[in-house]
Amino acid sequence: MELAVLNTNGSETGRKVTLNNDVFGIEPNDHAIYLDVKQFLANQRQGTHSSKEKSTVSGSTKKLHRQKGTGGSRKGSIKSGTFVGGARIHGPQPRDYSFKLNKKLKQLARKSALAYKAKDNNITVLESFQFESPKTKNYINILDGLKMSGSKTLLVLADYNENIYRSGRNLPNTKIMAAKDLNTYDILHADTVILIENSVGVIENILNKA
């Protein structure tokens, strides 16, 4: 699959980039995508939720009344979860939600997500550019030139660039990352994936590693 390389004004440069079919042209695996996105979202969870159990609620442990002969139900402690101000029964406790996935499966998931974007013509290749200093207006001008100012975009750089990152980080619906940090969730979340020309080879090398 060949894509024209655009400049920051949105015009074609006359160059073309061939996307590797082993990465951008595979048959997508939906289950691999599901597992990778599930892991990504699970790893974002802090897991600091907590509730008080009987051992941590303040109150007397004295039996409220004798076991039999009162005509009422048995009551062991005022700290029981059946009373107002009592413990939470089977409440949430701090835990780690993260889990591991095989490297091959994660590679397959990212390839599948990119294949979907390529299939829907939602990948744009942009020539390399630099900012002398962080300036959001410069990044907005690029999006305007590409006619993407109102859509969700993911810009993939060959390597981390602080000036470009800081220029776009405050814009809504905009994400910027290095090729090595590319993940399935962010690929799918974006309407358009913008690949800097020299990032294409980096992505293909990472996702084709044995």
- Mind listing the domains of the chain with CATH numbers? 2-45+98-207 (3.40.1370.10), 47-96 (no CATH)
Within 10 Å of residue 41's Cβ, how many Cβ atoms? Answer: 11
| Dist. CA 186–CA 177, nearest whole Å | 10
pLDDT, residue 210, reads: 59
Q: Kindly report the pTM of this predicted structure.
A: 0.84
Q: Is residue 1 very low, low, confident or very high in pLDDT (cuts 50, 70, 90)? A: confident
Q: What is the pLDDT of residues 80-138, one digit of tens each?
A: 999 999 999 999 999 999 999 999 999 999 999 999 999 999 999 999 999 999 999 99
Reported as half-sphere exposure (CB side, CA atoms, 13 A), residue 168 has a value of 24
Please give the span between the terminal C-alpha atoms of the chain, in angstroms, as a whole number.
Answer: 23
Evaluated on CA atoms 194, 197, 202, 207, the torsion sign reads positive
The answer to whether the CB of 146 falls within 8 A of the CB of 140 is no
Span 149-184, pLDDT tens digits: 889 999 999 999 999 999 999 999 999 999 999 999
